[in-house]
C-alpha cells in the first residue's frame, strides 16, 4: 500500500481572505445557529459545520467551503482544514461524482467475496477504486469496516447500506442510480445535518 505513505501530495490552496465568497443558504445559516446552542464552545460546531458545507458545496469540501466554515465559526483556515482532512467521510481531495459507491473490503466482507464485488464495479464502470467516471455520475471507493458485517459484502451509497450484494444487484443498483437526478453525496450530508437537529430546530 505505497499510496499510504505518499508524502507532499498536492494540496489545494486556500482562498485569500478578501476573495472569500460566502455560499451558505439561509437554511444553512439557521442550522449553524441552532448547532451553536448544542455545545459550550463554537469550535465544537466544526464537524457538523463541515457537514453543512459538504451539502452546500455539492458534496465537495473545496478550499472555498473550508474557508466559509472557518469564517462563520471564527476559526483559522488551517485549523478547519486540519479537521476536515482527518476524517475519511469529508471529501477534500476532489469533486466526487453524484453518487459515491463505497465498497467495504474489510474482514467479514473480505471473507464473503468483497474483492470480486470491487473488481466487478471497476470493470462495469471502467474506472478504478478512488476514481470518478468521466460523466461525473459515479465515484467508487474502498472503505474500511462499515460495521454491517451481517450484510457482507456490503456497500454504502449515500445514507443507505446495500447488502449482501451480488453482481446482479450491482447491475440493478447502477441502473437505478444513473436515472436518479438527485445526488446521493449531497443527500448523505443533509441526512447527517438533520439528525443533529431537534424537530423544533429543523427548517419547516
Partner 1 sequence: MAEYKLLLEHSHEPEFRTLHGYLARGGYAALNRAKGMERQAIIDEVKTSGLRGRGGAGFPTWIKWNGIEKEKTRPHYLICNADEGEPGTFKDKQLMETTPFLVIEGMTIAALATQADAGYIYIRGEFVDAAKSLRAAIDEAYAHGYLGQNILGTGLNFDLYIHMGAGSYECGEESALMSSLMGERGMPRLKFPHAPLPTVAGVWDQPTIINNVETYAAAVPILAKGGEWYVTLGANTKNSRGTKIFSVSAHVNKPGNYEIEFGTPLMELLDLAGGMKGGALKACVPGGSSVPMLNAEDCQNAILAYEELWETGSMVGSGGCMFLNEHTCIVSYTWRTAQFYAMESCGKCTPCREGTKWMLQILERILRGNGQPGDMDLLMEITKQIDGRSFCGLGDAAAWPVAGAIKKFPEEFEYFIKNGRSMVDTPEARAMAPRWAQRAFSAV
Query: Of 178, 128, 126, which Cα lies nearest the Cα of 157?
Result: 178
Give me the least distance between CB of 102 and partner 1, in Å please.
Answer: 9
How far apart are the C-alpha atoms of 204 and 196, rounded to whole Å?
A: 15
Q: Which is nearer to partner 1, 64 or 155 (CB)?
A: 155
Is 148 near partner 1 (CB under 8 A)? yes
Interacting positions 160-199 with partner 1 (CB under 8 A): 160-161, 188, 191-192, 194-196, 198-199
Give me the least distance between CB of 8 and partner 1, in Å please.
Answer: 15
| Residue 54 burial class via C-beta count within 10 angstroms: exposed 0-12, middle 13-18, buried 19 and up | buried
CA atoms within 13 Å, Cβ hemisphere of 83:
18
Q: Which is nearer to partner 1, 95 or 161 (CB)?
A: 161
Taking residues 78 to 117 in sequence order and writing x for each that binds partner 1 by CB under 8 A, - otherwise, the string is ----xx--xxxxx--------------xxxx-xxxx-xx-
CA distance to 102, 108, 177, per residue, from 149 (Å): 14, 6, 24
Q: Where are the beta strands (DSSP E) in 57-137?
A: 99-104
Give me the least distance between CB of 18 and partner 1, in Å please.
Answer: 26
Q: Cell 460546531 identifies what position?
A: 45
Q: Which stretch binds partner 1 (CB under 8 A): 19-27, 42-50, 93-101, 132-140?
A: 42-50
How far apart are the C-alpha atoms of 204 and 199, rounded to whole Å?
A: 9
Q: Which is nearer to partner 1, 168 or 175 (CB)?
A: 168
Q: Which is nearer to partner 1, 130 or 135 (CB)?
A: 130
The grid coordinates of residue 162 equal 446495500
Length of the chain: 204
List interacting residues with partner 1 (CB under 8 A): 1, 4-5, 38-41, 43-48, 50-51, 82-83, 86-90, 105-108, 110-113, 115-116, 119, 144-152, 156, 159-161, 188, 191-192, 194-196, 198-199
Amino acid at each position: 500500500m505505497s499510496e499510504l505513505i505518499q508524502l507532499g501530495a498536492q494540496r489545494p490552496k486556500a482562498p485569500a481572505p478578501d476573495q472569500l465568497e460566502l455560499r451558505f443558504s439561509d437554511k444553512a445559516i439557521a442550522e449553524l445557529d441552532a448547532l451553536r446552542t448544542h455545545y459550550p464552545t463554537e469550535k465544537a460546531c466544526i464537524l457538523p459545520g463541515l457537514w453543512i458545507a459538504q451539502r452546500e458545496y455539492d458534496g465537495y469540501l473545496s478550499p472555498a467551503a473550508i474557508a466559509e466554515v472557518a469564517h462563520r465559526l471564527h476559526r483559522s483556515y488551517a485549523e478547519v482544514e486540519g479537521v476536515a482532512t482527518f476524517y475519511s467521510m469529508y471529501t477534500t481531495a476532489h469533486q466526487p461524482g453524484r453518487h459515491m459507491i463505497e465498497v467495504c473490503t474489510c474482514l467479514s466482507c473480505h471473507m464473503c467475496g468483497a474483492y470480486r464485488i470491487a473488481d466487478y464495479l471497476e470493470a462495469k464502470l471502467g474506472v478504478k477504486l478512488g476514481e470518478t467516471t468521466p460523466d461525473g455520475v459515479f465515484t467508487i471507493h474502498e472503505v474500511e469496516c462499515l460495521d454491517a458485517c451481517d450484510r457482507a459484502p456490503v456497500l454504502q451509497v449515500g445514507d443507505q447500506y446495500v447488502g449482501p450484494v451480488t453482481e446482479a444487484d450491482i447491475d440493478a443498483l447502477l441502473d437505478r442510480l444513473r436515472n436518479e437526478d438527485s445526488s446521493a453525496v449531497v443527500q448523505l450530508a443533509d441526512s447527517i445535518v438533520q439528525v443533529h437537529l431537534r424537530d423544533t430546530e429543523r427548517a419547516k
